[in-house]
Every structure is written in structure tokens, then in C-alpha cells.
Amino acid sequence: MEYKGEARKFLEEHGVEVGDRVRIVRDDGVEIEGIIMPRSELGDDRHLVVKMDNGYNVGVRVDRIERLEPVGERREPKFRPLEEEIPEDPSLPNVAVMSTGGTIACRVDYETGAVKPAFTAEELVSAVPELPDVVNIADVRAVMDLLSENMEPGHWIKIAEEVADALSDPDVDGVVVAHGTDTMAFTAAALAFLLDGLPGPVVLVGAQRSSDRPSSDAASNLIAACRFAGEGEVGEVTVCMHGWTADEVCLVHRGVRVRKMHTSRRDAFRSIESLPIARVDVRDLRNPEVEYLREDYREPEDGEPELSGGFEERVALVKFAPGMGPEVLDFYVDRGYRGIVLEGTGLGHVSERWLDSIERAVDEGVAVVMTSQCLYGRVNMNVYRTGRLLRTAGVIPGEDMLPEVAYVKLMYVLNETDDLGEVERLMRTNLVGEIERGRVIGGFEPADGPHHRL
Amino acid sequence: MEYKGEARKFLEEHGVEVGDRVRIVRDDGVEIEGIIMPRSELGDDRHLVVKMDNGYNVGVRVDRIERLEPVGERREPKFRPLEEEIPEDPSLPNVAVMSTGGTIACRVDYETGAVKPAFTAEELVSAVPELPDVVNIADVRAVMDLLSENMEPGHWIKIAEEVADALSDPDVDGVVVAHGTDTMAFTAAALAFLLDGLPGPVVLVGAQRSSDRPSSDAASNLIAACRFAGEGEVGEVTVCMHGWTADEVCLVHRGVRVRKMHTSRRDAFRSIESLPIARVDVRDLRNPEVEYLREDYREPEDGEPELSGGFEERVALVKFAPGMGPEVLDFYVDRGYRGIVLEGTGLGHVSERWLDSIERAVDEGVAVVMTSQCLYGRVNMNVYRTGRLLRTAGVIPGEDMLPEVAYVKLMYVLNETDDLGEVERLMRTNLVGEIERGRVIGGFEPADGPHHRL
């Protein structure tokens, strides 16, 4: 947004504009150096927003600014000028790239101050110039522009339709979907259940740090994702994100076994009790290398992919905690919900005083599925009394599924059938890799690992 | 429970009893070897329950048993005979041990078939004969016998009262609380907020494997907990559990920074973005060694400990997922709840369509606190639009608190004050170590850690 009032007057008087790098001395002596950002949508007319080098924004009241001076050259262009034509290399694979929003698709236009979601092949290449050495961008689609916390099941279907459409072109080897990281794992699970007969990889990719920060993972993640999508060897929905720093490696996770496990670190995405499908060495951005870490991935299928169903939206995720009453279950049942995923304790427990409400839910035909808030390990309701009581009440064990994946899967399964026996059978059957049952152990680090300083 | 009907008749005919080790051949040729357990409370009159060597129980229909034969010696006693008097060593520290239930306190009485919660010093020592070499058991209390998923805030207060009472004896150096592992971290947080002026350590301890399994961690965890409690050097509530296997080490975690992260592994408990306070080397159970891993723990205080407040129970924990509507917030507000802890995505987000319900909650004086389902990292609501909108709506950032700890803390804070400004101030103030804000980094393992097989 553009500045108004006092802030705008201040900028004009000092001859600086949005996008300029400045050093500010405040009346209390604090010095702030950074780039003047567009006005925040919640800002008033008296503050400037400055993005500091640590990546964070700070608001500075203009009447408290003692001194302001430009630093360095006037506005370096952040992007290469757009090329008219991107060279196409017939020896390279063809990848479709689509944007749904999020940090990776964010680009502040320093001319107008607007955050632009525009997304063309030319802009991609101007931002990530190594891309044409890795793949041909055969198809570019700006599907939507959403912060991923605002995604809904309807968006998952829209994305799946676009992916299926892109992959119905036999020349396209794989699809890359740029997505906000907050709910990327949910969307990955949704696409995994929805998309049937994939002829190539679907790779969700995001960035934990935006591209205007020096430590941004946007370019390397995108290149790794395109490289893996171009391989065309896997008929699964995956998530490609920064792996770890020392080696500049990205990891390609199975979409139904991955979770965002850190609010801010670049290596936030982890395969939980599972091994990533591959890693991509991105030290040389023009020649990234794929190494497969497991062989039991799904092979690509011939023909065009199809959407295999949809999502019943009357499904809730309920995390249990001591002291919480079961009334929230009654609330959902009263509202006509068809499914509830419980995130219980340990091997899959909730307080015994929840039993009546659970029994009532099951009696009314509501599917109740148990997962564990431990995240690692698997539900086993045969060990302790509470588990057995819950089983007797009709609770379906969620095996080793992540709570978030069980939630998406229950939406998918309830769209297929209302029959609780069939719901239980499908929930406990591995459909697309979401149930591994310890076939591959990985991801649960020993407490004496190198980062524990023990 | 005792067997009845067919099952009882079968046992009598074969001359075997509960507690006997038997080999069974079923009519389909399957062989099952294990110990005959008491009848499950959900069992019928036709099944025997057999605990196999992997620790799991299986039900076997008696009319399908082709052959049954006893294995090995008749019923080895699992426990040393109770001693009349336990020697007291004046050179050893004095520890109070109390039981609240859970796997660690479970002891099947093979005479009667009952699961006995009885808990005396003699029984402790007969089960863990090394104990008198480590501490004097100055005080033993069977406070309650609960599976920990059935704990409620009222139980937290009862336990705190017993702990305070035990520590008001100047001869007691520390307290050990045996507790089920499912909600042990919740109870630890509750005790940490409740107990003021601790003159010594409070150490919660549990077991992931019951003491009738060869890999049980019950004895070593209990010894480590008693050893650390006896040190008397820390005035904090802690959790002592198995650390890792190679070195036979237990870890003493800060009670407000720990989480059960695996459904079944013995090393399930992890300090999250925090360093454990100490480790206890238990290779020699008669002489365990404590090593402190950090120095910024709270020192013991002089005098008697006190309960500093209580818990407002009208608090809910709500985990957000895409597709979930905000009506669950309205439900809690309509029911008169005073606080809601959101478990949002990433840096602390929920869908923008939740904003109206959040604003309404805050308008009605309900404290809404944001935490992250990532678990690692910290909430930062200043980076993205959604975070800023939520802040403007009055959401209180939960800093780097674990969602479960923020939930317990909000119950505690709302018991003190209804004033939302004061609630925000207290929630964002570190009271007992629950907010570390990256002072100590630890616990988030690199993805190329040794257990990842990358």
C-alpha cells in the first residue's frame, strides 16, 4: 500500500521512496538500517515500515526520526530484467509450475509498493536465472494467491484439477506447486488422496524465508523441486524443502508422511517415522543432483491422471488435554458432523469421561478416529484399559498416521462412504503411503544427537 | 479379574493358573507362548489373555486351543519377598516417593490376579532392590491410582498438596512422583506453576514399558529420579525419564519444556527447544551419577513450599486445521469459557475466516492465546498479514511455549485475574522457565542426524 498523510510527506521531503535503503536515527538514539517497505495494511499515516537485514519489519514513527539518510546505491534492481524469450532446451525435461501463494510466490514490486502475485515464466526466470539450465518451464499457472492458512478443501480440489490438467499433456514430466508452508503438508496429503494414476511427480515447494532475505531458501528449493519433478520417476505427491545447511541439500518428502516441525527454520519440514524419497544436492544450482533414499515409491502410471473423489467437510480435528470435557464432541455431533479425528495421548487415549460422548457419536453414525499427539510412533489401543474401552466404543485406530493426515483422509473417505465398517476398513488400509507401520524407521532423533549439546 | 465359565473350567482342567507361563497351540496351528494374565475387564468367559514376550496381550478362545502345556519352572516370584525392615543409611539423602498410578506403579499380583496399586516402601524395595543404596525412602504415599489420561486439574492440586506437605519436612531433600506417561508433561507443568518456594526437586517419573517386560525402564527411571531428587540442588519441577539406550542414561527435563514425543519408545520424552537440566548415568544402579547440563536452574528456597493458586477449568485447547470452521470458538464462548489456547500453523496463524469469532471472544473478555502446532520454534505474529490481523483482534502471542504448557498456564493465570491486559502480561512473562526464547537451543535435530539413514 502507498503511504499517506504525515508518512508520505516525510518521504517526499527527504527524497526517499519505497525500496530505498536508509539509515534512521530515532530521537532515543536507536539506529535502524534497512529497506523502506510499502505501508502495512494495518499501518497508520505516522509510521514508516523498515525491513531490517535480519528479515523483520519494524515500524518507525516519523515524528520520532531525528535523522534519515540513504545508504549505498540508489535502489538496486532485485530482479534481472525480464527476458523476452526463454531459451528452450529439448534435452531438458518439461515441468509445469503453478503458484498458489505464500512466501515463495511473494515479490514486492519496489516501483509500486504492491505485493505482486503475478507469476509468469519470465518472472520466474528473472528471479531464478539458473532455472532454464535445469528444466524447460512448459506450463506456468497462477492458480490462486493465498496465504496457506486460508486454504480450504475447495482449494485443494482446484489445485488438483490444475495439476491433473497440466499432467494430461504427455510432454509434461512433472508438476511443481508453489505453496505457503503453513498448511503445505495438509495440501500435500489432500492431493495425494485425490490424484489417481499420476504419470509423474507432483512436488509442492515453499520457502521459509522470503527472497528478499539473504538466507532465502526460495531459489534453491524451487530449483530442487523442478529438478525432481523433471526426473519423472515417481508417481506420488511430494514436498520438496530445504534439508540442512552444511551440504545445501533439499529433501523430497512423501506428501502423506511430512510435517512442518519448526516455526522459522529452513529445515522445518520433516518426514515423521518415515524416510524422505530423495535428496537433491543443490550446491550447483545449474546442475542439481538427485539421489533416491528409498525404492518403495509409487511408479508413474500411463495415461492421464484423474481426481478420485472429494472431501466431506463436516470433519473435525479435536486435540485432547487433561481438564477438557467431551462436550466439544457433542457439539460436533449436534451440528451434523460425519467424522471426528481425536488427537489423544500416548498410544491413543482420552479421559474415560469422554466415553459416553464417543459412544453417542458412533451410535449416530459418526466416524471417530484415534491418533496420537506424540506424533511419532503409532496408535495401539490393545495395551491399556482405556484403549480397549475406546475400541469397544467403536473408535477406529489411526495406526501410525499423522493426526493431520488422518484428518484429511477421513474427509476423503467419508466422501466415498457413510458405512462405518467400510470407513474403518479404508482408514486402516494404506492407500497412498500414509500408513507405513514401521516399515521404515527414521526421523525420531536420539536425544544425544549432535544438536543436543549433551 | 478372575476368570469365569468356560475359561475358568479350562484352566482348572489343565491345572494352570494366572501367572503361569504356558505354550499354546491353537487349532489353526498358531503357537502362542507367554504368561496367563488376569481376565481383561472387557473379556468374556471364553477367552484366556496371554501376555507374550513382546509385552503385548493376546486373547485366545479356549475352544480353539488344541494343546496347552506349562513352560519352565512353576511361577517364578517376580518380586523379592518383602523385607520387614529397610535399612536406613544416615549418609544418604532422604526422598519422599509418591504414586499416582500409571505403568510404573502397576504390579500384577499373580496370586489373586488383581492389578495392585498398593505402594509401600517395602514393596518399592522388593521391586527395586538397589533403591536403599541410593536414598532413604523417608516418606511413601499412594496419592491416587489413575491412568494418567484420566487426570484432571483437581488431581494436579491434590498432588501438589501432597508434594508440599512432604517437602515441609525439613529432613526431606526431594520428592519423586510416579505418574503415567500419557499426561505426565501436563502434570509437570501444572505442578511447576502451582508450587512456590520449592526447597528441593520435584521429580516426576514414569515407565514406557511395564516392569514385567525385560526391556522395562521402570527400575532405572525410578532410581535416577530418586538420585536426582536426593541431590536437592534444584528448586524446580522436573521429569526424569530414559534418555537413550547406548549409555543407559536418564534425562532430567524442565517440567515446562518437555513433551512425550513417541507413543512407545523408552526415550519418548524430549526437551523441546530446551536443554535438559541434568543427566543421570544409571549403568550402575547402586551408584548412579548426576551430571548437570545447564546452570540456569532455580535454586532451592528456604522454608516450606506453598500452593500459589489454582486452575480456571473453563479453558480449551483448539488445534486449527484447514477446513475447520471457527464455530468451535463460538461454542466455547457461549458456554462461558474464559480462555482458549489456539494451536495455529507456522508462526501462529489460523484462517482469516476465524477472525470474527476471535474478535467476538476477545470482546467478551475471553483470553485467546496463540501457539504453534510446529511445536519447535516460537510464535511471531509480526511477520505476516494474518499474524498482524490476529494481533489487532487481540490474540496473545504464546511466545515459545509448548501448546500444552500454554494451556495449563492459561488455566493458572485466569485463576489469578480476569483482566485481559494482565493476562497478556503474565502469559508473556517467564514465570518458571516455560518461556526460554531461544536462550538455549536444543532438541531440534538436523535431518542428517544419525538415525535418519540419509
pLDDT tens digit at each of 454 positions of chain A: 678 888 889 988 888 888 888 899 888 888 888 888 877 655 678 888 887 776 566 778 888 898 888 887 555 444 445 555 777 899 999 999 999 987 666 655 444 444 455 567 777 777 788 999 999 999 999 899 888 999 999 999 999 999 999 999 999 999 999 999 999 999 999 999 999 999 999 999 999 887 666 677 888 999 999 999 999 899 999 999 998 766 689 999 999 999 999 999 898 999 998 889 999 999 999 999 999 998 999 999 998 999 999 999 999 999 999 999 999 999 999 999 999 999 999 999 999 999 999 999 999 999 999 999 999 999 999 888 899 999 999 999 999 999 999 999 999 999 999 999 999 999 999 999 999 876 555 555 555 543 343 3
Which segments in chain B show pLDDT lower than 70? 1, 40-43, 54-57, 73-84, 103, 105-119, 211-214, 245-247, 438-454
A390 closest CA partner among B408, B44, B149: B149
Distance CA B286, CA B219 (A): 11
Catalytic-residue membership of A187: no
With a threshold of 0.90, does the pTM exceed it? no
Which DSSP string do the residues of A62-76 spell out, in sequence order? GGGEEEEEE-SSS--
Distance (Å) from the alpha carbon of B85 to chain A's nearest alpha carbon: 34
CA A25 to chain centre: 39
Q: Yes or no: is domain A94-307 CATH 3.40.50.1170? A: yes
Say how many CB pairs under 8 Å bridge A and B: 274
CA atoms of A454 and A448, how far apart (whole Å): 6
Do the Cβ atoms of A172 and A144 come closer than 8 Å? Answer: no
CA gap B395, B423 in Å, rounded: 11
Note the CATH number of domain B315-427: 3.40.50.40
Strands A174-178 and A202-205 turn out to be: parallel
Q: Do the domains spanning A5-70 and A94-307 agree at the CATH topology level?
A: no
Please report residues of B whose CB lies closer than 8 A to that of A373.
260
- In this structure, what C-alpha cell is assigned to residue B323? 477446513
Q: Are B313 and A321 within 8 A, CB to CB?
A: no
- The strand order across the sheet containing B249-254 reads B136-142, B94-99, B174-178, B202-205, B237-244, B249-254, B278-281, B289-292
pLDDT digits (tens, 9 = 90+) for A357-399: 999 999 999 999 999 999 999 999 988 889 999 999 999 999 9
Q: What angle do CA B112, B118, B120 make, to 5 degrees?
A: 130
User: Which among B41, B331, B449 has CB closest to A449?
Assistant: B449
Element housing A405 (H / E) = helix A403-416
Nearest of B132, B147, B301 to residue B226 by alpha carbon: B132
Q: Return d(Cα B147, Cα B142) in angstroms, integer.
A: 14
Q: Do A323 and B313 touch (CB under 8 A)?
A: yes
A379: which chain B residues are within 8 Å (Cβ-Cβ)? 263
Spans of all domains in chain B = 5-70, 94-307, 315-427
Handedness of CA B395, B400, B403, B407 (dihedral sign): negative
Q: How many CB atoms lie within 10 A of CB A332?
A: 24
Q: What is the ipTM of this complex?
A: 0.84
Enumerate the residues of chain B whose CB falls inside 8 A of the CB of residue A183. Answer: 322, 345
Of A251, A265, A372, the CB nearest to B444: A265
Smallest Cβ–Cβ distance between B323 and the set A181, A246, A313 belongs to A313
Q: Do A247 and B375 touch (CB under 8 A)?
A: no
Q: Give the chain A residue whose CA is nearest to the CA of B57.
A: A383
From the list A181, A442, A454, the residue facing B452 with the nearest CB is: A442
Separation of alpha carbons A203 and A226, rounded Å: 8
> How is domain B5-70 classified at the CATH fold level?
SH3 type barrels. (2.30.30)
Q: Which of B60, B345, B350 to mutate to test the interface with A (most CBs of A within 10 A)?
A: B345
Residues B447, A346: Cα–Cα separation, whole Å = 24
Instruction: Give dist(CA A32, CA A36) in Å, integer.
Output: 11
**pLDDT tens per residue across span B27-43:** 888 888 888 887 765 56
Sorted by sequence, the CB contacts under 8 Å of residue A407 that are 6+ apart come out as: A186, A315, A317, A341, B321
Catalytic residue among A260, A386, A400, A409: A260
